[in-house]
């Protein structure tokens, strides 16, 4: 039976969990994801674990934060004036904002502090700083 190699395109089902067992994402209720390894579509630790898997193989893997979304970076916290926000937004701690980049991509930002005249936003990935667990099932090698 063939095994996944670097640069293969595969279909895989996954369930991602935090260390406390909370599920943060799963493909089980939808179609499996289709990715080509080596294209930067997946976090490194997830991709690395797919190599050498066989079709229909299942496994549970632990991905350390260094191979996932990295450490929380202090340089990704920014204070901005409330006046820069759209008038219809009433900022609250934990609220998510979306910022558009010049190239059209979007970044999710979380409000971490609300002050008199400003707010503090966190541009780190929501899973930064966390080790992750994935249950993987290789569906197909294309």
Same structural domain for residues 17 and 64?
A: yes
Same structural domain for residues 52 and 40?
A: yes
Q: What is the pLDDT of residues 103-134, one digit of tens each?
A: 988 889 999 999 999 999 999 999 999 999 99
Higher pLDDT, 16 or 103: 16
Structural domain of 29? 9-70+127-141
CATH assignment at residue 99: 2.40.10.330
Going by C-alpha positions, the residue among 42, 39, 19 that lies closest to residue 129 is: 19
Angle at 74 between CA 69 and CA 76, to 5 degrees: 70
Q: Which residues pair with 60 in a beta bridge?
A: 135
Average pLDDT, the chain: 95
Same structural domain for residues 26 and 38?
A: yes
CATH assignment at residue 49: 3.10.50.40
Q: What is the pLDDT of residues 38-68, one digit of tens each?
A: 999 999 999 999 999 999 999 999 999 999 9
The answer to whether residue 3 is domain-embedded is no
Going by C-alpha positions, the residue among 90, 80, 78, 92 that lies closest to residue 122 is: 78
Give percent above pLDDT 70 in the chain.
Answer: 100
């Amino acid at each position: 039976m063939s095994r996944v190699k670097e640069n293969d395109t595969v279909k895989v089902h996954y369930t991602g969990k935090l260390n406390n067992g909370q599920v943060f994402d799963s493909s089980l209720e939808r179609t499996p994801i289709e990715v080509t390894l080596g294209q930067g579509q997946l976090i490194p630790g997830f991709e690395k674990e797919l190599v050498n898997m066989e079709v229909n193989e299942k496994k549970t893997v632990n991905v350390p934060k260094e191979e996932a979304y990295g450490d929380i970076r202090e340089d990704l916290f920014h204070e901005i004036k409330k006046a820069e926000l759209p008038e219809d937004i009433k900022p609250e701690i934990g609220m998510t904002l979306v910022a558009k980049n010049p190239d059209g991509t979007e970044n999710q930002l979380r409000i971490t502090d609300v002050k008199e005249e400003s707010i503090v936003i966190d541009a780190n990935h929501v899973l930064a700083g966390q080790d992750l667990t994935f249950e993987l099932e290789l569906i197909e090698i294309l």
